[in-house]
Structure 1
Amino acid sequence: MNHIEITEEKLNLEKITALVTAPSCGAVSVFMGTTRDNFENKHVVKLEYEAYIPMAKKKMVEVCDQIRAQWQVEHIAIVHRLGVVPVTESSIIIAISSPHRKESLMAVSYAIDTLKATVPIWKKEIYDDHSSDWKANKECAWAAPNKQS
């Protein structure tokens, strides 16, 4: 089972891990991305996320399909928050269950890296001086510099 969600609600770790917990699985691995209070010597007060939701969900399903092609996993939950995400709160939670820990750990790592590289979700950092900056993930396919031959 895949659970894909994009929401403006505060994320609940316990509810999301409950979605993937299964009697046949000895492992639930979780990645929780939170807003930190600093970036390159600037004081961050919050993040704001936007997305093209239909395409983002489609790409999140593709990430689930890629995980299932590589590892034996039971359930996958990927929940991303949009809108304002204050410092210390989660913008994304990925939870994956599997019979053994190695598969779920590898799958969670793959999920966050691939999601950041392929899913059209954009982040703006808001600083304490009221300035802001849209951030491109370094992993993004569309953020890579053009290479001229």
Structure 2
Amino acid sequence: MAKELCEDNCYVALTHEYLDAKVMMDKVRSPKAGAIVLFAGTTRDNFAGKPVKELQYTSYEPRALQTMLSICKAIVQKHSLTSIAMIHRLGVVPIGEESILITVSSPHRQAAWRAGEEALEECKEKVEVWKKEEFGGEEGGVWRANRDGAVGERVDEDKEKKKPEMGPHGPILRPKRPGERGHGPVVRNYQLGS
């Protein structure tokens, strides 16, 4: 079941379920809109020449939802949109399946195109979601901020099997690279990993 927020012509959600593009397009459909733009980010089968088995996403969900909503509200105002919807998948996302869908409706196509691109870039820059790329074969995986070209840190399988650091609500899952900017805020003043 998705965790979602809906306010001021903005819909945002995080889910572990398969993403449905038609459902997201229906969330922004309006007789006032002359254009609907859909962006679907999918898991590809390689990264930097290495075979990718799958992606795994984790998030600080309450904060991520608020950040997503803030981004959407600002974009609706800036581009005079009819509405916007953004959903990000968490957990394992196999090759060929979507990890994010963004739909934008507007009276005119130019504003919809610009707003869709801006929404994606803002999401990748600010939302508290991180990904682990699982490589095929003996490669293991790499945690990285969820943005293009972000440097990651190889996952040591032995360390991954150890008991995770515990927080008040369960295990703490976060990227292993302090200070890295990307799909979430800069992490400072923490000694992450061991």
Report Cα offsets for 1:108-138 as digits up to 9, x if no partner: 0000000100001000000112500012224
> Which of 140, 144, 150 in structure 2 is aligned with 1:135?
144
Task: Compare the two structures and name the one with the higher helix fraction.
Answer: 1
- How far apart are the structure 2 equivalents of 1:43 and 1:49? 18
Match of 2:175 in 1: none
| Matching residue within 12, 20, 42 for 2:28 | 20
Q: Does 1:57 align with 2:101?
A: no
Structure 1 alignment gaps of length 5 or more: 144-149
Choose the corresponding residue for 1:94, options 88, 92, 102. Answer: 102
The Cα of 1:2 is off from its aligned counterpart by 1.1
Partner of 2:38: 30
Answering whether residue 90 of structure 2 is matched by residue 46 of structure 1, we say: no
Aligned to 2:112: 104
Contact 2:76-2:83 within 8 A present in 1 as well: no
Q: For residues 74-93 of structure 1, what are the structure 2 equivalents within 5 Å?
A: 74-93=82-101
Q: Give me the TM-score of the superposition, normalised by structure 2.
A: 0.71
Q: Deviations over 1:3-45 (max 9, x none)?
A: 1110000000111111111111110011110000000111001
- 2:15 aligns with 7
Report the CA distance between 1:68 and its aligned residue: 2.0
Give the ranges of 4+ consecutive aligned residues of structure 1 lying more than 2 Å apart after TM superposition: none
Identity over the aligned pairs, expressed in percent?
A: 37
TM-superposed deviation, 1:69 = 2.5
Distance 2:130 2:15 in 1: 14
Structure ranking higher on relative contact order (CA contacts 8 Å, 6+ apart): 1
RMSD over aligned Cα, in angstroms? 1.3
List alignment gaps of at least 5 residues for structure 2: 1-8, 151-180, 188-194
Q: Secondary structure at the match of 2:37?
A: strand
**Partners of 1:101 and 1:69 in 2: how far apart?**
16
Conservation of the 8 A alpha-carbon contact between 2:71 and 2:122: yes
Pairwise CA distance, 1:72: 1.1
Distance 1:2 1:68 in 2: 8
